[in-house]
Structure 1
Amino acid sequence: MVVLGFGNRGARINSINRWRARIAVRTAHRAASRGAAVTIICSGGPVHGATPEADLLGAYIARELHWHGSVLVERTSVSTWENVRNVLPLIGGAQCVVFASNGLHAEKARNYLRRQRPDLAGLLAPADDYRPGEMIAVKPIFAAVGLWKLRAMFHVEQPRRC
């Protein structure tokens, strides 16, 4: 379970990171209830502040969401590509890889994993990232931005014709 950080200013976790942490914990609980051993990996460096996003996520998951399972942190990533690359050593023997974020951002991370480590693509699984009414004010914005970024990810420049 990899929870992807979102740019956080200051030392207090922002609402987007809290949302992503909730997605991670509810997905982790679902997997644990089915007998899976679950480790939550919080990924994100100090993108917009002095405190790494991973530290804020990890503390929130343990203290506020009362996750008592294993939590690891990856504190250096400043982009989604780096999130994926930098957690690879931490997901070593995983039987399943889940990215906890808003839907299209998680899809971007899954595509990056397929590019960086095609051999792990078969381990990818979706997070429990949809709840009716949850974060309703920001979901349309994230959907628009996510679609734009996914389109850019797959856009191939056509050769110029003379």
Structure 2
Amino acid sequence: MFIPILRGTFFRAIDPRFRAHALTGSRSAGRYSRPDQPTLYMSSSIEGVEAAMVAHKGSRSMELEIIELEVEAENIADLRSPELLAKVKIDVADAVAPWQEVVAAGATPPSWTVRDRLIAAGANGLIDPSRKRLGLWHLVLFRWNDGHGPTVRLRGM
């Protein structure tokens, strides 16, 4: 049902002041993460990072650097797959629904429920198609470098 093995180089925009913490994941709520759920958001290309940053203008540092990460991950749910969505009973509209306004209003966005369902089904993360540019995609990990799941390392280290 899930992608058995996903290996490759992925990209992430970070504030250079926090480079030492680049692998700790998000520090605040995200599309697929409550504020207390570590989540690592990456893109499959530099263009994907740039497209994703459009949605975060104003909430991110103006001084960002793009880092390269080497990833090896198992059990990744591909949200581009209608078969997977049907099997895990996920409506793609829940994944792409606006989330920032919902969180700001103190409610739970549907995309957090998508994460919950995927974790319950055994997923370690997901592939999220870009909403800004057709053909681009992002990798979101729910766990990594814990000895049992995906591994991520800063390229060149």
Please tell me the TM-score bracket, short chain as reference.
under 0.3
| TM-score normalised to structure 1 length | 0.26
| TM-score normalised to structure 2 length | 0.26
More helix by share: 1
Tell which structure's C-alpha radius of gyration is larger.
Answer: 1
More strand by share: 2
